[in-house]
Amino acid sequence: MSDAPRWKRVVLKLSGEAFADSDGYSIDGDVVFQVAREIAEVRRDLDVDVAVVVGGGNIWRGAKGAGKGMDPAQADYMGMLATVINALALQDALERLDQPSRVQTALQISQVAEPYIRRRAIRHLEKGRVVILAGGTGNPFFTTDTTAALRGAELDAEAVLKGTHGGVDGVYTADPKLDPLATKLDEITYMDVLNRGLKVMDSTAITFCMDRELPIVVFDLLEPGNIRRVLVGEERIGTLVR
């Protein structure tokens, strides 16, 4: 295995739940700092451009609000604001590690972040900055999975890295927490994911990546060193969807 990265520019998708503390809510500063340290290390050591799309499920989930009778669009906008909080937390951790970063949001919040502008984001990446993309697509009814796929195409990324949490280290034939016979898949096609209803990303994101031949790697984000392992192509780390 070489230390040369498989891809020179990637979008890293982080769920909000991965940032949660032990009760499943708020933000665990130690976890955020661990993730930030690994991002900073691969940026420095492997010279990989990294854009990060963050979720907000540790703070608010639009589907939960809609299920309680809220207007679904309003609930989704609240979720977009939650992603900004996580983005600012990640930026703070990166800056404490001397890794320059920029937060760009699909919603206008000019006091705390730049607006998302494609060319500006690419320029930040070229200058070695980590770009943290918050606010989803700026539209309700689209997940941050879809945001990661969309931004991956816009920013000329070569892969989307989907970080999971809770000890799940890839895509399985069934839920490994419920089915003891579930087996991990090292590689799978986009169509198999769609046809078998496997929980990788939402179907809009999978279809988008398939149309643009943008590979996805699903891996355990919280296992120390895994971001580097995915980038250098270490065997049996995560599941490759292509």
- pLDDT computed for residue 2 by the predictor: 56
Judge whether residue 187 has pLDDT over 50.
Answer: yes
pLDDT band at 124 (very low <50, low <70, confident <90, very high): very high
- pLDDT computed for residue 66 by the predictor: 83
Question: Distance (Å, rounded) from C-alpha 94 to C-alpha 91?
Answer: 5
pLDDT band at 1 (very low <50, low <70, confident <90, very high): very low
Judge whether residue 107 has pLDDT over 50.
Answer: yes
Give CA 71 to chain center in angstroms.
Answer: 26
DSSP line for 5-66: -S-SEEEEEE-GGGG--TTSSS--HHHHHHHHHHHHHHHHHS--EEEEEE--TTT--HHHHH
Give CA 69 to chain center in angstroms.
Answer: 29
3-state DSSP helix/strand/coil % of the chain, to nearest 5: 40, 20, 45
- Of 17-21, 23-27, 189-193, the range with the highest mean pLDDT is 189-193
Cβ atoms within 10 A of the Cβ of 232, count? 17
* Contact yes or no for 28/35 (Cβ under 8 A): no
Domain range summary for the chain, segments of one domain joined by +:
9-241
Could you confirm whether domain 9-241 is CATH 3.40.1160.10? Answer: yes
Judge whether residue 3 has pLDDT over 90.
Answer: no
Summarised one tens digit per residue, pLDDT across range 38-85 is 999 999 999 999 999 999 999 998 887 888 899 999 999 999 999 999
φ, ψ (nearest 5 deg) of residue 32:
-60, -40
Report the chain's mean pLDDT, rounded to a whole number. 93
